[in-house]
Amino acid sequence: GREAVDAVLSTLLRPDLIGRTAYGAPQLDVPVALNTNENSYPVPPQVVESIMAAMADAAPGLNRYPDREFTALRADLAAYLTRVTGTDLTPEQMWAANGSNEVLLHLLQAFGGPGRVALGFTPSYSMHPIITRTTGTRWIDGARGAGRSTGSGAGAAAAPQDFDLVVEPVVRQVRQHNPHIVFLCSPNNPTGTAIDLDLVRAVYDAVPTALIVVDEAYAEFARPGTASATTLLAGRPRLVVSRTMSKAFALAGGRVGYLAADPAVVDALRLVRMPYHLSTQTQAVARAALAHADALLGTVDAIKEQRDAIVARVAELGLVPVPSDANFVLIGGFADAPASWQALLDHGVLLRDVGIPGHLRVTAGTPEETQAMLGVLADHLAQHP
């Protein structure tokens, strides 16, 4: 029975994992799933064709291990990131893995570990502390805002909570904890806002021995005027910028994330990755997708339009959207966010309760999904003002 399992686990399981909660975004079969910031648009037919052709080419060679160095993929990723960020990047600066989650895991395995400390600024991507702790690294929750947070929950409607990262308090926290790794997320999940590069520079200079990781999973959705931290890589060997093909590229199922960093940092990751961690099919699919970057990224403008429409419309409904540079919007002003989450789900609309009182997060999908979501939301608010 359950008790026997618990008893066994309490002696078998690593003590630091006892009582921890696993990553658990619900995977429910609902008409309008807007809870994991996927790209709602299917892979277009001409890209499907290229992927199938690449797989047909690669399949006879599946008796062999894949290229352990994923040389061609690194060159394609360098070319793509050079093109979209305007930073000259070489294949030696690139690393890739099964989703940017695994990229981050490699970083923690190489630069964290028992006796070491990683610092991030909460609320941010929920996997940063989870990945950190799986490697025995200690996690420290830094605080966002300038210390004038207005609180939240019932009664906080119309008063936007302060989720910004402000240079002075961030630098103070970084100096205080002197971590081995600092996580910055831009645009930040779940709040949506991108950070200023001045902040990245200031954090880099504040701790002369830390690895600074900028998670740019949603960078392709940023509003005009937002620059990538890749533009800071030159002369900053402790800076790492991670990205993913899961969001703008509409390739979440392909499991491809990557980073750009100093070649020495990339080389260190070879010490911890499993040999041949990127399968032949993963490399083939990723390269076929990168060859069609423009077609796949063709949905980005449409998604940004939906995002901006959601921001405008929920404000009209009396809620408090957080400014977004991503493919999602964090919405505050709910009197009882878990109750609203359930009420929307009862009508086939799945949002994300990220655990911030009074707030829910919604992914920007197709116009049809936006309309359905906003309709259900408006009805719900009319009944529960």
Q: Binding residues for ligand PMP, per CB under 6 A?
A: 37, 99-101, 125, 185, 189, 215, 217, 244, 246, 252, 257
Burial state string for 358-371 with b = 16 or more CB within 10 A and e = fewer than 16: bbbbbbbbbeebbe
Within 8 A by CB and 6+ apart from 72, the residues are 283, 287
Q: Give the integer Cα–Cα distance in Å for 133 and 19.
A: 13
Q: Which residue is nearest to ligand PMP (CB)?
A: 99
CB-based burial label for 143 (10 Å; 0-12, 13-18, 19+): middle
Whichever of 110 and 156 has its CB closer to ligand PMP, that residue is 110
- As a residue count, the chain comes to 385
CB 41 within 8 A of CB 247: no
Tell the smallest beta-carbon distance from residue 278 to ligand PMP (Å): 13
Minimum distance, C-beta of residue 125 to ligand PMP, in the bound complex (Å)? 4
Q: Which two tokens stand for residue 266?
A: 């990339």
- Non-local (6+) Cβ contacts of 208 within 8 A are none
Q: Which is nearer to ligand PMP, 215 or 220 (CB)?
A: 215
Nearest distance in Å: CB 218, ligand PMP? 7
Q: How far is the CB of 385 from ligand PMP (least distance, A)?
A: 32
Closest contact distance (angstroms) between CB of 347 and ligand PMP is 25
In the complex, least distance from residue 187 CB atom to ligand PMP, rounded to whole angstroms: 8
φ/ψ (deg, to 5) at 121 = -115, 110
Q: Which residues of 151-182 are buried (b: 16+ CB within 10 A; e: fewer)?
A: ebeeebeeeebebbbbbebbbebbeebebbbb
Q: What does each C-alpha distance from 321 to 225, 302, 329 come to in angstroms?
A: 20, 19, 7
Q: How far apart are CA 183 and CA 333, in angstroms?
A: 28
Please identify, using beta-carbon distances, which residue of 36 and 82 lies nearer to ligand PMP: 36
Residue with Cβ nearer ligand PMP (127 or 143): 127
Smallest distance, ligand PMP to C-beta of residue 56, A: 26
CB closer to ligand PMP, 189 vs 340 = 189
Least gap, CB of 170 to ligand PMP (angstroms): 18
Nearest CA to 23 among 35, 13, 31? 35
Instruction: For ligand PMP, give the closer residue by CB, 256 or 376.
Output: 256
CA 345 to the chain's CA centroid: 24
Smaller CB separation from ligand PMP, 258 or 341? 258
The residue (of 87 and 101) whose beta carbon lies closer to ligand PMP is 101
CB of 26 to ligand PMP, least distance (A): 14
Rg of the chain taking only CA atoms, in angstroms: 21
Q: Cβ closer to ligand PMP: 161 or 244? A: 244
Reduced to 3 states (helix: H, G, I; strand: E, B; else coil), residue 217 is coil
Q: How far apart are the first and last CA of the chain?
A: 45
